[in-house]
Amino acid sequence: MKFTIWNYRSIPYNHPVVFELREGVTFILGPNNIGKTNLIKFFYDLRAILKGYKRDILTGHYPVTLESPFDYIKNRFSDVNQIRFTIEGDEGQKAKFIIEPLSPEQSHSLNVNVIVDFQQGTGGTEPELGEFIGELLLLGESLFLGIPRTMSNKTFGKSLDLDTGNAFLKNYSQWADGENIESIRRFNRLKEELRRMFDLERFDIRMNDQKSDLLITTDGEVFFLSELGNGISEFIIVLSSALMQNPAYIFIDEPEASLHPKMQEVFVRALATKARKGLFAVSHSIALARSAGDYLYSLTRRAGNRPNLQPYGLHYQPTLAQTVNEMGYSQFVEIGGDNILLVEGRTDVKVFREILRKYGIENQFIILPFGGRQFMTTDGARIVDELAEIKRLNARSVSVIFDSERKVASEALKPEFENLVKTCESLGYHVFPTDRHSTENYITQEAIDKVMGEGYQALEPFEDFNKVSKRWHKEKNWLMVIEMTRDDFAGTRLDLFIKDELIPLFSHKE
């Protein structure tokens, strides 16, 4: 969905901000005091507007009670006493919203009037419009996470939608220790997920007898939640809250706050799995956005304090080596991840992180996209220069995995693919063109059913995903891979490549 916003907080009336919200993980990057958090707050305020909407109002108006007074959220330098935004669907559907006070004298009130106008898309059918409205209403089922995300257990607290302190403990007790068997199972799975994240042999969470704190059992030790540092307590509070709320979208301000660089990506990936549709984050961390995001935007200011939101990298295209350094490679080496894995596209980063997790080696690699076909079809000298520049980083190893796009097992690689293989091999890199058509061809039917539901079919080994009549969003690939096991890759050359080429890289590491 494409959003255009006028006259909201730091966004002027005559210079709107335009961006897209998609399934998957979206990051907006920018410095302090640039207005990033206002985009989170826009969706927070939008939720009240959508919750007040009735499906039978295609053109008209209705009353809404906002979270903040109207004059707090309207651009304070504008004389226009309205906030406007439009939302456009993939098929040309459009919703226009105007928010205004009930009267000029009531600008400080929470109560406003919303004028709405829905327009049908290119198909011009009511079902298309109905589906579009349904997608909009899902935005009302969102979880908003501000800063801070931990708080003393002795108080009731709230950070946007996040209950903390005793309020969180009360909710946790009802869900994790109640009588709903399915809720208990879900929290047991979360505890197992947390155990793996923190590389523990044993991990458990339970309420103390007074129900005033959580008791956290780790390898041989027992702690109160209130004793733990912000890192692990944030994982417990935030992921538990997301599990309880089961949101369509999760919006989070600075997910990197208070977390070690190694755990930031782990946190974002884990949180994204708790959203039915997608995660939207604003951040300062280029490294985190590159490693965990599917879509990246950069927010800057033009002359006259005008906001400028555009796709990240539109006017700056770093080399592969520059990208590695932007991701904090030297810091990553210090915590043990001194191997580089290049994969095709941004959505492949999380896919291969989850595949390597099944082999227990995900933390040994910094994974980044090399740009796929656009890179492979560029000037040959540039390909050689960029790949050779990575070699000068003195990584323990560099590996490359890309889609072979073969239509049958015996088909030769395309010339540009073969050139990439030869260049990588000449530099001593480990290179693997997939033994199936593409990454999607490894995903099992069981994993597809768990994530996508009925109606989607697993691909044959050499079936072209782009020619399938009903396709899922590639941003969902990693969620399906999570549902798979290591045994699902047995018998493939990908399995052999990981076991024979990648694991031995550090099996004898000192």
Torsions phi, psi for 315 (to 5 deg):
-115, 10
- Do 130 and 172 reside in the same domain of the chain? no
- Residue 57's pLDDT is what? 87
| pTM score, whole prediction | 0.84
Say if 298 falls within a structural domain. no
- Do 17 and 125 reside in the same domain of the chain? yes
Cis ω for the linkage preceding 369 (within 30 of 0): no
Report the candidate in 417, 411, 412, 414 with the shortest Cα–Cα distance to residue 432.
Answer: 417
- Residue 494's pLDDT is what? 97
User: Residues in the chain with pLDDT < 70?
Assistant: 123-125, 151-158, 314-318, 325-337, 507-510
161-220 tens-digit pLDDT:
888 778 888 888 888 877 788 888 888 999 999 988 888 888 899 888 888 888 888 887
- Do 118 and 161 reside in the same domain of the chain? no
- Do 230 and 277 reside in the same domain of the chain? yes
Say if 399 falls within a structural domain. yes
- Do 59 and 128 reside in the same domain of the chain? yes
Which residue intervals of 177-275 are DSSP H helices?
A: 181-197, 230-245, 261-272
- Residue 375's pLDDT is what? 78
Pairwise CA distance, residues 245 & 254, whole Å:
20
Residues 6+ apart with CB under 8 A from 440: 459, 465, 474, 477
- Residue 84's pLDDT is what? 96
Which of 141, 168, 201 is a domain's end point? 141
Say if 307 falls within a structural domain. no
Report yes or no: 403 and 344 within 8 Å, Cβ to Cβ.
yes
Q: Total structural domains in the chain?
A: 3
Report yes or no: 439 and 465 within 8 Å, Cβ to Cβ.
no
Tokens of 404: 């072979």
Report yes or no: 340 and 393 within 8 Å, Cβ to Cβ.
yes
- Do 375 and 499 reside in the same domain of the chain? yes
Q: Read off the amino acid at residue 490.
A: A
Say if 305 falls within a structural domain. no
Say if 150 falls within a structural domain. no
Pairwise CA distance, residues 120 & 126, whole Å:
7
Q: What is the DSSP string of 308-337?
A: EEEETTSS----HHHHHHHTTHHHHHHTT-
Say if 230 falls within a structural domain. yes
Pairwise CA distance, residues 255 & 243, whole Å:
17
- Do 338 and 478 reside in the same domain of the chain? yes
| Domain membership of residue 21 as a residue range | 2-141
- Residue 121's pLDDT is what? 78
Which of 88, 109, 141 is a domain's end point? 141
